[in-house]
Amino acid sequence: MVPNPKESDKSSAQEYSDLERRIVKASQLLMNPPEVDVGTAPNEIVYQDGKMRLLHYLPVVDEPHPVPLLIIYALINKPYILDLQPNKSVIRKLLSAGFDVYMIDWGTPTDVDRYLNLDDYVNWYIDDVVDFIRMRHDLDSITVFGYCMGGTLSVMYTGIHPEKVRNFILMAAPLDFEADQGLLKKWSRPEYFDADELVETVGNVPGEFLNFGFLLLDPVNNLYSKYLKFIDKVDDEKFVSMFFRMEKWINDGIPLAGEAYREFIKKCYQQNLLVKNRFTINGHKVKLDNIRMPLLSIVAEYDHLVPKESSMSFNDLVPSRDKKMIMFPTGHIGLSVSSATHAKMWPGVIEWLAKRSYIKEPKAKTTKTKNKTKKKTKKKGKK
């Protein structure tokens, strides 16, 4: 059958008109973004120290698993990526599975916080939070779940305070910075980047500076392709809603305390001291040999921010006899928000943790550990 040229011209005109309409609609939405709700799982602030708040999510089952779960997120961006949308919320999925969930919200550092260092975050904030949860539940140890840079901080904490960690979960955690051959590693090499000069110049490292670096890890997708997809799907209300939730989170970055940034770049990215078992915080060694509790490592196969190689070797470096690694074909943020991970990966994570979240022995009355590695008389940046 010979095509009718007039019908083809009419079809092309309709397609062009529809494309023009979608471009206009997309442009108007991008210039005037709709309001979106994020982090909506009901919670209460149960502990606070300075800008740091501990959120306790209200259980949705009558009898939660007896071992509570503490989520430690990165010092950059905000933790509501784990509760971005009700039907794609890691927090809600854990609550529905019967876990008692806590999460640290680090707050937004100001100039007074520029001297907060890794000792403050690990041996002050995290340790105080863990002690608070232990005493609240009358337990000796809890489950610690570290995501992204929060996973690195969690390894530091667990290597110093292993007796307080019953189960240990790491997700997309940068750990082996020599195996990591991603762009962040290359940009951070000491011959190219002087962390001392940056911190001495700006104090806290601006969130915009960090975010722009992350965007450049995948510039075609982050600065071009995603907008073409947005135009293509601008009539899909669910897609548009999720798009603007992600945009809100991406552009909701926070500064990073200068001293913590300096230490992290020099000791991790440039010297790789953690996996070499030479990392010390305030004179206390982070001992990988202390990580003997059940360990689950979750790795994103297509992670541009934390290349899989940076996380994959960690299980082989610790003596835990109960350890597992899950690698899923998604990206760094996809571990939290993609439909596939919620359908196929998280049920396995929940099953693993549920088997290890019961109490074998009677509850032991605990008291707050006295041998803190921090200096109580010299709190920094807590105003």
Note down pLDDT in tens along the chain; length 383 residues.
555 655 566 677 888 889 999 999 999 999 999 999 999 999 999 999 999 999 999 999 999 999 999 999 999 889 999 999 999 999 999 999 999 999 999 999 999 999 999 999 999 999 999 999 999 999 999 999 999 999 999 999 999 999 999 999 999 999 998 886 777 778 778 888 899 999 999 999 998 888 878 778 788 888 889 999 999 999 999 999 999 999 999 989 899 999 999 999 999 999 999 999 999 999 999 999 999 999 999 999 999 889 999 999 999 999 999 999 999 999 999 999 999 999 999 999 999 999 999 877 555 455 454 445 444 444 445 44
Token pair for residue 355? 């088997």
Q: Minimal CA–CA distance to 195: which of 136, 181, 187?
A: 187
Residue 110: HSE in the Cβ half-sphere, 13 Å Cα cutoff: 7
Dihedral sign (CA 371, 275, 203, 211) = negative
CA pair distance 180, 176, nearest whole angstrom: 6
Q: Return the biggest CA–CA distance within the chain.
A: 88
CA pair distance 212, 339, nearest whole angstrom: 26
Strands (E), 271-335: 280-281, 284-285, 295-300, 323-328
In this prediction, residue 131 carries a pLDDT of 98
In this prediction, residue 319 carries a pLDDT of 97
For residues 74 and 268, the answer to whether their CB atoms sit within 8 Å is no
> CB neighbours (10 Å) of residue 218?
16
Distances 134 to 65, 122, 142 between C-alpha atoms, Å:
14, 16, 7
In this prediction, residue 371 carries a pLDDT of 46
In this prediction, residue 81 carries a pLDDT of 96
The three-class DSSP label of residue 275 is: coil
What residues are annotated to the active site? 148, 303, 332
Q: Minimal CA–CA distance to 78: which of 336, 285, 342, 368?
A: 336
Q: Minimal CA–CA distance to 69: which of 42, 40, 93?
A: 93
Report the DSSP beta bridge partners of residue 296.
169, 324
Adjacency order of strands within the sheet including 52-57: 43-49, 52-57, 101-105, 69-72, 142-147, 165-171, 295-300, 323-328
In this prediction, residue 9 carries a pLDDT of 60
pTM: 0.89
In this prediction, residue 370 carries a pLDDT of 43
Domains recognised in the chain with CATH numbers? 43-180+273-354 (3.40.50.1820)
Residues 6 or more apart from 340 whose CB is under 8 A from it? 328, 329, 330, 334
Residues 6 or more apart from 12 whose CB is under 8 A from it? none
The three-class DSSP label of residue 171 is: strand
Residues 6 or more apart from 11 whose CB is under 8 A from it? none
